[in-house]
Amino acid sequence: MKIYLDGKFVDEADAKISVFDHGLLYGDGVFEGIRLYGGNVFRLEEHLERLEYSAKAILLQMPLSRKELSDVTCETCRQNGLTDGYIRLVITRGVGDLGLAPWLCAKPSLFIIASKISLYPKEHYDNGLAIVTVPTRRINPAALPSTVKSLNYLNNILGKIEAKQFGALEGIMLNDQGYIAECTADNIFIVHKGELITPAASQGALKGVTRSTIFSIAQELKLPIREADMTRYDVWVADECFLTGSGAEVIPVVKLDGRVIGSGKPGPITQQVLAAFRRRVLVEGTRI
């Protein structure tokens, strides 16, 4: 495997960063997870825009222009002979001293990994997930804006560990007020009386690229959709539920906290949305 690292393509074994890199020492950096379908990098421009916004929010200088980032992302896929896969694009603050001061880091570091990913087994796409609510709360947006996709992922990792301890592959995270923010690695949607509903970013939800695609798909399918404050009760009594993310794509949920959602099987609207999503991934994006 070839990794793009600070201007060069290097072998996987040689893709190394310094132990003094603040991305490692303090989680100081930003990233994007991007999918490649049939030689098409899905919504690459949207991912790069969000990366730029995340970097700007934490006062991190982008090492390349958007066009340059687009080019090296596609070239990383070509270097690895990929037409389908998962791309991880990471910008760290770079090498500094053992203090927090980011202004002592001379320049940011950029690396891009293009490989494969399989987040959930296929049977869960066919039959749906059973998920739980985890004890760890989502970080308050006033403390760390959820719209910044940063390397600080301990909050989500703790939630993921808790979900596994409860025997689930994914878990819902609540915010300080008890409203649903998102899952540990995915956005969440419910279907209630024919309407799609999802938590707002102000409640702690990441503005996911796949999430935004669902809004476009809803318009295409003429399905009403809105953001709203959402509690666990809303999911318990929903007709359908599904999760979205670059890794997860669109995956049905059939049970939350031991309570069956709807019929207990992936619902018809979820299946329509998933079919529409699979049609779009081959045409919305950048050819490598």
- CA dihedral sign, ordered 186, 192, 197, 199: negative
Specify whether the backbone of 194 is left (phi greater than 0), alpha (psi in -120 to 50) or beta. Answer: left
Tokens of 153: 């992922």
Q: What is the largest CA-CA distance in the chain?
A: 57
Which residue type sits at 250? V
| Cα–Cα distance measured from residue 163 to residue 5, given in angstroms and rounded to the nearest whole number | 34
Residue 192 CA from chain centroid, whole number:
24
SS3 24: helix
- The residue behind tokens 């009594």 is 237
Task: Compute the distance between CA of residue 196 and CA of residue 189 in angstroms, rounded to an integer.
Answer: 7
- Encoded amino acid at 193, one letter: K
| Cβ contact 187:240 at 8 Å | no
Q: H or E segment at 182?
A: strand 180-183
Supply φ then ψ for residue 73, to 5 degrees.
-65, -45
Of residues 166, 31, 28, the one with CA closest to residue 97: 28
Q: Catalytic residue positions? A: 149
For 62, the token pair is 């982008």
Strands 171-174 and 129-133: parallel
